[in-house]
Structure 1
Amino acid sequence: MARTGTPTRERIISAANALFYNDGIRGVSVDAVAEKAGVTKRTLYYHFRSKDDLVTAYLAGRDQPNLALFRKWFSEAEGDLPAKVEAIFRNLARSARHPKWKGCGFLRTSAELANMPGHPAVKIGAAHKKKFEEWLRATFAAEGVAEPLQLARQILLLLDGSFAVVLLHRDPSYMETAGEAASSLMAAAMVRRRSRRQRRRLAGAD
């Protein structure tokens, strides 16, 4: 097991985060991470048994901060559910305009490890996407939206699709277009919700 809870470990993860996100996990050596963290290779291996462990820790460290950012963008957006969902995409588009933006670290890592589906880092990436999906599902269900799981998955597909296309074309407007599509899906779901409630009221009046 890797030893935890030390400033040295945190410094190593911080260095790995910067290097892996910028250059990819295949393009970064353990030596490069150790150098950036200001530690020896031996010290790095004291905290992490292997590069695989380091990659896993890198993604684990991105999990909760990324989810918290999505929730922040959603909660701070003005308007109804469609507007709040679209705000996630608009904020991502703004992030994608930064010159250091390199897409979704979870998707990129999964692509690099496509021939290793059982890799712990791939499992963390899959769990991260499921957490996002579940958060949306629970939010939609609390608002009485019909088929909240299906809708949450549709939004997730639009989100991850926009990550891929924007990374390919370097044009964040694709992410904004995906946000408009997500908003339309949400608006349609809201109409169905209102229709369902009206039918229930009418049925209760009979």
Structure 2
Amino acid sequence: MSDTIPPTRERIIAAAGKLFHSEGIRAVSVDAVAEKAGVTKRTLYYHFRSKDDLIAAYLEARDQPNLALFQRWFAETDGDAAAKVEGIFRNLARSASHPKWKGCGFLRTSVELINLPGHPAILAGRAHKKRIEDWLCSIFEEEGAVKEPRQLARQVILLLDGAFAVVLLHRDPSYMEAAGDAAARLIRTSLPKRDAPDVGRACTALDP
């Protein structure tokens, strides 16, 4: 029986994630998280120095699963790189059709902490978005992007995160599909034909 019970830290993060997702990080108290996790407040503070650290841990726990989900959707979609990236948007549109969908947790958190740019949760969100960008950049580099692959990755990220915001505002998943179509068109104009020589540039960061 005990083997099925998650470790205390994981249980606290899971409880916080459910509450933060449904109510927002500012509306949820440490007491509420402790109660939902079935621990005392003292135990919670043993694992997390502050609510700020807990918020950051909640986002960090979503990092690899979110990236893995995008990678799975990409791999499961047939076609070229453009079609595969569009598949990510299409799957997100399906997710957005669920009545309890609330968009991107990383972006929602950044809005709630807009006046705290150095907050550990903001840093965690920034790192996650950068990992998605790096992954896309590596794909475009492998495909031999004619244009700078980093620039192309950032353009797709802008379409992706812009779609998160607009779909959340209108509650209309078709905006996500429209963004996916735009991303696919953009990628196809940037990638060489299959029989063209590889003239892609290294996946290096752009100058600020």
TM > 0.5 between the two?
yes
Distance in 1 (alpha carbons) for counterparts of 2:180 and 2:196: 27
What is the SS of the residue equivalent to 2:99? coil
Amino acid paired to 2:165: A
Partner of 1:179: 180
1:69 shift after superposition: 0.4
Structure 1 residues 143-152 or 63-72, which shifts more?
A: 143-152
The residue type paired with residue 190 of structure 2 is: A
TM-score with structure 1 setting the length: 0.90
2:68 and 2:131 mapped to 1: Cα distance? 11
Deviations 1:78-118 (A, max 9, x none): 01111101000000011111122111000010111110000
TM-score by length of 2: 0.89
Alignment partners' CA distance in 2, 1:194 and 1:89: 23
Output the CA distance in 1 between the equivalents of 2:16 and 2:100: 16
Q: Runs in 1 of length 4+ with deviation above 2 angstroms?
A: 194-198
- Flag structure 2 segments of 5+ consecutive residues without an equivalent: 1-5, 200-208
Distance 1:94 1:197 in 2: 35
- Distance in 2 (CA, whole Å) between partners of 1:22 and 1:126 is 22
Mapped partners of 2:71, 2:27: distance in 1: 32
Match status 1:197 vs 2:191: no
Is 1:9 aligned with 2:43?
no
Alignment deviations for residues 47-93 of structure 1 (CA, whole Å, 9 cap, x no partner) = 11110011010000000000000000001100111110100000001
- The secondary structure found in structure 2 opposite 1:103 is coil
- Larger CA Rg, structure 1 vs 2: 1
Report the 3-state secondary structure (helix = DSSP H, G, I; strand = E; otherwise coil) of the residue aligned with 1:22: helix
Gaps of 5+ in 1: 1-5, 201-206
Counterpart mapping for 1:14-163 below 5 A: 14-146=14-146, 147-163=148-164
Higher alpha-carbon deviation: 6-15 or 56-65: 6-15
